A = this chain, B = another copy of it.
Amino acid sequence: MGFKLIDDDKLKEECGVIGVYSKEDNVVEMIYHGLYALQHRGQESAGIATSSNGTINYHKNMGLVSEVFSSEKLEKLEGNMGIGHVRYSTAEENLGINAQPLVVKYKKGSIAIAHNGSIVNGESLREILEDEGVVFQTTNDCEVMANMIARYHKDEIEKAINRVMEVFKGSYALVLMTNDKLIGVRDNQGIRPLCLGKIKDGYVLASESCALDTIGAEFVRDIEPGEMVIIDGNGIKSIFNDKWSKKRLCIFEIVYFARPDSRIDDISVYLARKEAGKILAREYPVDADIVISVPDSGTSAAIGYAEESGIPYSIGLIKNRYIGRTFIKPNQSNREQGVKIKLNVLKENIQGKRVVLVDDSIVRGTTSKRIVSMLKKAGAKEVHLRISSPSVAYPCYFGIDTPYREHLVGANKTMDEICQMVNADSLGFLSEEGLIKSTGKAEGFCLACLNGDYPMEIPREEAVLNE
């Protein structure tokens, strides 16, 4: 019984992307630092492709940005234009071949592509292409895109991409580089975020605005649903796909995935989370001594809950800042070990206290159960669990790695049953209305994982598999 990697009980974002175009300078350093800022969106592989005088060079590998890129590798990635990618991948396909950007040569030259999202009809399109004799070397949606672009690319690449957008169903924030253009695309419903920034003599596209801040780019605006921006020596222009519809941004970008210092579609992630905590305090008030969070993702909401409730905010759990790939022997006595390596109770703040514990979400419920147990062992008199989002009850098909429905505690248990399961003294999930209200918007979100209202048709086989 050997050592195994510790598994996490969190929803997993699949990727982060960045693209930089400069008229004059080498861009690799900006892309590289930008990927650091996006590392929370994917830690399994990283890659950068740059274009120098029509030649695309790239380097990608499994690992964190800091592991994949040495100074020697960076030196070799010259060019005034480039794209970068960080990736989270599910265990089954944990393969180097799937690292992005994907670089291919086709009749019109070379292109590099990187995307964040998931193509709902990717398998069907793959089959159609296979029926026409296409071979695939990876299991990436990128490879489907590259093939379709190559087929559609008769005159302008913009038209080819536009046609791809018409047949692709799903979510995709895409950055793409030809020999002389940097192109960014956001899916027709804007499920995944993508924003535009300005640098001295060029532009930046990135999954989140925190990447713009990190590299000193000025935030310009979010890319719109169905919008394609083309950046080249002539400047920047936009093309809108006919099929674009109103925005349905993945609500979990706001709830959990994005960095709190990012601004997505005019929503400050931090302020929305804090507001969610405030509303949660009104929806599920409780008489308690302190409010603590599950760091880091629950912290903003906890601060809001404390502010609204008047119960002092405190630190109850310390997160280890150095957890990378960690092994564990998966035996009986170690059941809580995975959580313990990441979190430790600050006993002094907990002992004898009635604790409000704020987390952003519950997926399987196993982690919550262990944290409640740790707090009670440390002397907490009561633990009131407050979740700053509704219960996740439906799988996501748009780029989030949700477990099958049978493992989604929200799909199978009532709030009371969950409360009992995690052994909390009380439990409250933020309401759907509360969550929407916290964003300051009235609408514009994909809430499918909460209410099953998918923004588009879902492949039947997948749906069945998950029932």
- Residue among A104, A151, A318, A328 with most chain B CB within 10 A: A318
Q: Is A323 an interface residue (CB 8 A)?
A: yes
Given contacts A36-B320, A135-B104, A344-B210, contact A3 B74 (CB under 8 A): yes
Dominant secondary structure of chain A at its interface with chain B? mixed
In the bound complex, residues from chain B placing their C-beta under 8 Å from that of A320 are: 36-37, 39, 214
- Residue among A4, A134, A215 with most chain B CB within 10 A: A134
Q: Is A349 an interface residue (CB 8 A)?
A: yes
Interface string of A298-309 (1 = CB under 8 A from B): 011001000100
Contacting pair B134 A318 (CB below 8 A)? no
Interface string of A44-69 (1 = CB under 8 A from B): 00000000000000000000111101
- Residue among A105, A107, A300, A312 with most chain B CB within 10 A: A107
Contacting pair A323 B36 (CB below 8 A)? yes
Given contacts A64-B322, A322-B66, contact A348 B268 (CB under 8 A): yes
Contacting pair A75 B2 (CB below 8 A)? yes
In A59-115, the 8 Å CB interface with B consists of: 64-67, 69-72, 74-75, 102-107
Given contacts A36-B322, A314-B303, A327-B74, contact A340 B136 (CB under 8 A): no
Interface residues of A, count at CB 8 A: 84
Which stretch (A125-133, A178-186, A238-246, A359-367) binds chain B? Answer: A125-133
In the bound complex, residues from chain B placing their C-beta under 8 Å from that of A150 are: 130, 133-135
In the bound complex, residues from chain B placing their C-beta under 8 Å from that of A296 are: 321
In the bound complex, residues from chain B placing their C-beta under 8 Å from that of A134 are: 106, 134, 147, 150
Complex: how many Å from CA A403 to CA B399?
A: 47
Given contacts A127-B107, A322-B66, contact A340 B133 (CB under 8 A): no
Interface string of A127-162 (1 = CB under 8 A from B): 100111111110000010011001111000000000
Q: Is A236 an interface residue (CB 8 A)?
A: no
In the bound complex, residues from chain B placing their C-beta under 8 Å from that of A348 are: 268, 270-271
The one of B2, B36, B43, B135 in contact with A105, judged by C-beta atoms closer than 8 angstroms, is B135
Q: Is A32 an interface residue (CB 8 A)?
A: yes
Q: Is A346 an interface residue (CB 8 A)?
A: yes
In A299-344, the 8 Å CB interface with B consists of: 299-300, 303, 307, 312-315, 318, 320-329, 336-337, 340-341, 344
Q: Is A33 an interface residue (CB 8 A)?
A: yes
User: Nearest Cβ in chain B — how far from A278, in angstroms?
Assistant: 13
User: Nearest Cβ in chain B — how far from A353, in angstroms?
Assistant: 14
Complex: how many Å from CA A119 to CA B146?
A: 25
Given contacts A270-B315, A270-B346, contact A324 B105 (CB under 8 A): no
**Chain B residue with minimal CB distance to A154?**
B133
Contacting pair B300 A315 (CB below 8 A)? yes
Complex: how many Å from CA A341 to CA B261?
A: 13
In the bound complex, residues from chain B placing their C-beta under 8 Å from that of A349 are: 270-271
Contacting pair B4 A341 (CB below 8 A)? no
- Residue among A135, A307, A329, A344 with most chain B CB within 10 A: A135
Contacting pair A313 B315 (CB below 8 A)? no
**Chain B residue with minimal CB distance to A212?**
B344
Q: Is A29 an interface residue (CB 8 A)?
A: yes
Q: Is A381 an interface residue (CB 8 A)?
A: no
Contacting pair A105 B136 (CB below 8 A)? yes
**Chain B residue with minimal CB distance to A4?**
B71
User: Nearest Cβ in chain B — how far from A281, in angstroms?
Assistant: 15
Complex: how many Å from CA A271 to CA B318?
A: 13
User: Nearest Cβ in chain B — how far from A340, in angstroms?
Assistant: 5
User: Nearest Cβ in chain B — how far from A364, in angstroms?
Assistant: 22
In the bound complex, residues from chain B placing their C-beta under 8 Å from that of A33 are: 326, 328, 337, 340-341
**Chain B residue with minimal CB distance to A318?**
B261
The one of B39, B315, B337 in contact with A322, judged by C-beta atoms closer than 8 angstroms, is B39
A–B complex contacts, Cβ < 8 Å, 21 sampled: A2-B75, A36-B326, A36-B341, A39-B322, A40-B321, A40-B322, A43-B322, A66-B323, A67-B324, A102-B137, A104-B137, A106-B133, A106-B136, A107-B133, A135-B143, A135-B147, A214-B344, A215-B340, A270-B318, A296-B321, A307-B312
Q: Apart from A37-B344, A66-B326, A105-B136, list 7 A-B contacts with CB within 8 A.
A: A29-B328, A66-B325, A106-B133, A106-B136, A260-B318, A260-B346, A261-B344
The list of the 10 closest CB pairs from A to B, nearest first, reads A133-B151, A66-B324, A107-B130, A39-B322, A3-B71, A104-B135, A261-B318, A268-B348, A106-B135, A261-B344
